[in-house]
A and B are shown apart, each in its own frame.
Chain A
Amino acid sequence: MAFLFGAACTIEISIGDADTRRYVDLPIENSTNLLTVPLYVGDETVKGSVKVSPVTKGKKMDHQGIQIELIGQIDMFYERGNSFEFLSMSKDLEAPGDLTAEKEYPFEFLNVEKQFESYNGINVRLRYFLKVTVKRGLVSNVVKEQDLWVRNFTNVPEVNHPIKMEVGIEDCLHIEFEYNRSKYHMKDVIIGKIYFLLVRIKIKHMELAIIKRESTGSGPNLYNESETVTKYEIMDGAPVRGESIPIRLFLSPFELTPTYKSISNKFSLKYYLNLVLVDEDDRRYFKQQEIILWRKNEKKRTKKGGRKAKTGEKEGTDAAVEQPAPSATKAPEAEKPVEKEEKPASIPAAAAPSQVEEKGLFDG
């Protein structure tokens, strides 16, 4: 709109500290190109400068004032134009007057609280952007927007119980499953095990799926969209009673976001682990279990960073840094934990302590 015929001036928005800032690439709708946008974390100051230049050099341009806004808004796709602004800050860059030559205006939104993370969903989008408006009286305003991408780190959860549950169908299938935590950060590894207490069906295989569920709206206009992020086969063939199957699922390869809980009462995003057993007749038995995803502060670890991730959510950090801790199962032998840390790598221990697994096999 801003570039319609007759636009009197061009606006360029430059981001401060552009060289050191990290960027994320966003997919553009209907295009294979990617949009590179600067990344902000938490309440970082958003600053930079705006360059306004008349289209025709030397021609005077009247304006009713130049304004920059920092807007955070939630767009619902299913209701065109239904946007909700949860953040709107504005600054006047210029009082109404004339503009004859290119002029640059620095701007700064000091430590703005960016309450929510940017999100591109199926039915909803949460975006932050800078909007520069050159107000014109009778003709349309000249407007320029610059998207920002926001991420917020979460503190390490204080409480993080493992998920443990016994489920089953009477006289048919009883299993006990265990995931080592209920809250995972996004580079985490899900470690767990499935313990078969009773198997009377012929199982073909078993997989663990990560399901993302986006809920938008409320009341009669509630929309739920589920998307399977990945299916990960964890067992091939039919187990017998007493068998325990290890789970180790690395989260880092997947496009994940943290769990969002009722963002401005507009939408929520939840993640589930779906354990699916498929029998020989392709019947599926499953159990869904919500897990909380959170974003871990990685600041200290960005030394090697700067590598641009290919996908929107992929962060430019070293993929290997988040090996799960050797966990309690290895503890008895870890006589020198400090030294162990220095070793090239430690192997993620499989979920189940071997003592437990050996017991009960073929018993009874």
Chain B
Amino acid sequence: MSELYEVVQYAGNIVPRLYLLVTVGSVYIKTKEAPAKDVLRDLVEMCRGVQHPTRGLFLRNYLSEVTKDKLPDIGSEYSDEGGMVGGGDVKDSVHFILQNFTEMNKLWVRMQRQGPVKNRNKREDERRDLRLLVGKNLARLSQLDGVDVQLYQEAVLPKVLDQIVKCDDQIAQQYLIEILISVFPETYHYPTLELLLKAVSKLQGTVNIREIFERLIERLKPLLTGLDHSQPQEIDVFELFFSTAKLVATPSEQHNYKLSQTDVLSLYSKLLEELVFGVYPNHTPYINRIFDAVYDHLVSWAASEPATASNDTLSKLYALLKIALDKQHNVVATLATAHYIDIVNTHLNASSQKRIADEILKSALAHQTIIPTVQDVERLFACIKPLLRDEEGSASDEEDPDDFAQDQNRVAAVVHLFVNPSAEVIYGILTNVRKEFGLGGTKRIKHTLPPLVFKSLQLVPLLKQMTAGNPEQWGNVGKKIFKFVNETVTVLERTDHKELAMRLFLQCAECASNVGFETIAYEFITKVFEIYENDIVDSKQQFRAINEIVGTLYGLLRVFGEENYDTLITKAYVHATKLLKKHDQCRAVYMCAHLFWGEVKGENGGEDKEWKNGKKVLALLQKSLRIAEPTMDSSLNVSLYVEILNEYLYFFEHKNDAVQVKYLSGLISLIRKNLEGMEGIEDSSSDPVVAEEAGLTRLFFENTLEHIVRKQKQGAPGYSEIEL
């Protein structure tokens, strides 16, 4: 064998000579006539003679292939341990593979630099085709049983990285780092992460660091998520990644990186999304540090090339901001993140600001995130400014009204997330919020102020509870809050949201009455009437308003003295009779009848209160009946009769002595008569709507009668006398 090993070297041409030598050499090892260690070392050394890139690559690949089953390793028959004296051990194999790897990589990289410039792309393609040859060496290293973590850390990785860094070639660096990450298990990468990342930070500027990060994090994730992060770990994975990202993202003379803005942002996005949220969910300090760093970059760019200058950069920045929102599910936490607001306000353009504002609100509403403090609200508002105000100089008319309404409704809805156990805090919040909303212009306050009013009113019982036992304080506090509400609603009133303001005043009156503020409630009602009288002109609105006023007034009995109550209900009645349409009048009047049969249960042990004027009730019912009579539309006529019958029944049941059986019986027979007269219409009417209405009226009437019959059967007092 040794003779053969020599004789093949007589060949004068180097390429065939070395193929022969490698072939004989591998057999030489196999026959065990020579120690593997020595033969391998000789072969890999002699292969240096071929410096032609492709020929060299293939020769060395051949060397790698024919020796792969003959490498000294744990459990290999060719090693010292396996019984071959002088055969060497796994370290020799590592040395051999590393050397072959290094040389192959150099040849591979050299391919790029040889030949004319115009063929560059073609050469790159060729190189990509050959990359497997180089990468295989790394796979081979990982296949050696003897390469344990320690050996990997001490002997393998430093050499491999050294070569990767030194080769200064983008294709090689990208490919080899990725191969390295994928061929070795995460248990190897974890303890050597620092080493690896340090090398990554020294790669060529054109290498896609983000992709490398992504792969590495992906690889490490199963291991990292298995760790207990409440304990400080020996290896601060986040710190390592973060400092590397920061290093490569910051232009410096020490490294080649000139990452574009989008690269920098997507790099941090990856870290945030994959590492921070993937492994250390909601670990605020980490999130803060990332945004801190991003902010620093933005500031440094601002002078020369602000982020707003490029749509790509903007969209990356937006994506980064959104990751925090989407992953944290907590806008309060997200907005408290360092510089989050600064970034939104100073480094986004108007449209992306608006988009992120939308996202913030959506997130808050979707997760019903409680926004507890003044500061949190301030932060929130700082971020959603585009929704709160018009852009200076921008024509907001262009906006689709539906979209606008939707946005404002979200703003409005968010008000209900301002929750804090301290009413004082809430009051502080509300004061600020009103200031903020107030600047939004009339078309916004329509949407935004009402929830503020309701939110304020919610405070009232809370405040009362808090000041229990201190009436004087309660008086002050209560007045203050109602004053606040009054101002708020008045703003709406003044800005032509009359009907809305009127309703809110009703609401306020209701609320004031609940806590016993008679004067305040009276004032509110006064305002209601004022608005009604001055500004509600549409008959439909008027009817609706009367409806609401009556509904509210009924409850106000609890707070008003008789005089006030009488004044107000009489006023309501007067307005009811002045409605334009008869059927509106009729209905409004019988509703008003209830105001004269008021009854309020005393709360918290307070006294029950009554305001009962049976005759007045009867008078109103009869008036309503009279108003209904001349209606020309007979089906509506009957319908009103049935409604009034029900009113009669109500008061009859509620023991209004003035409402006597004879009225009931009379009304029933009147309705019957009318119904008979209507039958023809009902059947012959070509108009299905009319027919249906007539049917409904009949049904209503029958149900009413059924009720009476049931009461009769139950033996309810007085019912037996009703004539059906």
Task: List A residues at the B interface (Cβ < 8 Å).
Answer: 205, 230-240, 243-246, 248, 250, 253, 319-320, 323, 330, 340, 343-350, 352, 354, 357-358, 361-363
Contacts and interface: CB of A to CB of B under 8 A. Distances in A.
B106 A362 contact: yes
Interface stretch (B6-14, B118-126, B552-560, B703-711): B6-14
Interface in B43-62: 45-46, 48-53, 55-56
B39 interface: yes
Contacts of A319: 3, 6-7
A237 B2 contact: no
Given A233-B17, A243-B51, 19 more contacts: A233-B49, A235-B14, A236-B51, A237-B50, A238-B52, A246-B49, A248-B9, A323-B2, A343-B86, A345-B2, A345-B5, A345-B33, A349-B41, A349-B42, A354-B99, A361-B106, A362-B106, A362-B163, A362-B168
Given A233-B14, A236-B55, A361-B102, A320 B2 contact: yes
A240 B105 CA distance: 13
B34 A347 contact: yes
B33 A344 contact: yes
A236 B50 contact: yes
A363 B7 CA distance: 37
A234 B47 CA distance: 10
Contacts of A348: 42
Nearest to B2: A345
Nearest to A322: B6
A322 to B, nearest CB: 9
A236 B1 CA distance: 27
A195 to B, nearest CB: 11
B12 A235 contact: no
A142 B593 CA distance: 174
B27 to A, nearest CB: 13
A148 to B, nearest CB: 31
Given A248-B9, A344-B34, A347-B39, A234 B49 contact: yes
A233 B13 contact: yes
B266 to A, nearest CB: 30
A130 B148 CA distance: 75
B570 interface: no
A319 B7 CA distance: 9
Nearest to A319: B3
A354 B45 contact: yes
Nearest to A240: B110
22 contacts: A233-B12, A233-B17, A234-B14, A235-B51, A236-B49, A236-B50, A236-B55, A237-B51, A237-B52, A237-B53, A245-B48, A246-B46, A343-B85, A344-B1, A344-B34, A345-B1, A346-B38, A350-B46, A354-B45, A358-B102, A362-B106, A363-B166
A239 B34 contact: no
Contacts of A363: 166
Contacts of B5: 345, 347
Given A323-B6, A347-B39, A237 B56 contact: yes
Interface of B: 1-3, 5-7, 9-10, 12-15, 17, 33-35, 38-39, 41-42, 45-46, 48-53, 55-56, 85-86, 99, 102, 106, 110, 114, 163, 166-168
Contacts of B33: 344-345
A59 to B, nearest CB: 58
Contacts of B102: 358, 361
Nearest to B31: A344
A273 to B, nearest CB: 15
A234 B10 CA distance: 11
B49 A347 contact: no
Contact of B48 (A240, A243, A330, A343): A243
Complex A-B, nearest 10 residue pairs according to Cβ-Cβ distance, in ascending order? A237-B52, A345-B2, A237-B51, A350-B45, A362-B166, A233-B14, A347-B38, A344-B33, A239-B51, A320-B3
Contact of B34 (A245, A330, A345): A345
B51 A248 contact: no
Most chain B beta-carbon neighbours within 10 Å: one of A236, A248, A345: A236
A238 B51 contact: yes
Contacts of A246: 45-46, 48-49
A238 B111 CA distance: 11
A301 to B, nearest CB: 15
A281 to B, nearest CB: 15
A177 to B, nearest CB: 14
A350 B56 contact: no
Contact of B15 (A232, A236, A347): A236
A348 B39 CA distance: 9
A110 B594 CA distance: 162
Nearest to A350: B45
Contacts of A250: 6, 9-10
Given A232-B12, A320-B6, A347-B39, A245 B99 contact: no
B61 to A, nearest CB: 16
Nearest to A340: B86
Contacts of A232: 12
A344 B86 CA distance: 12
A48 B15 CA distance: 53
A145 B6 CA distance: 41
Nearest to B15: A236
Nearest to A353: B45
Contacts of A349: 41-42, 45
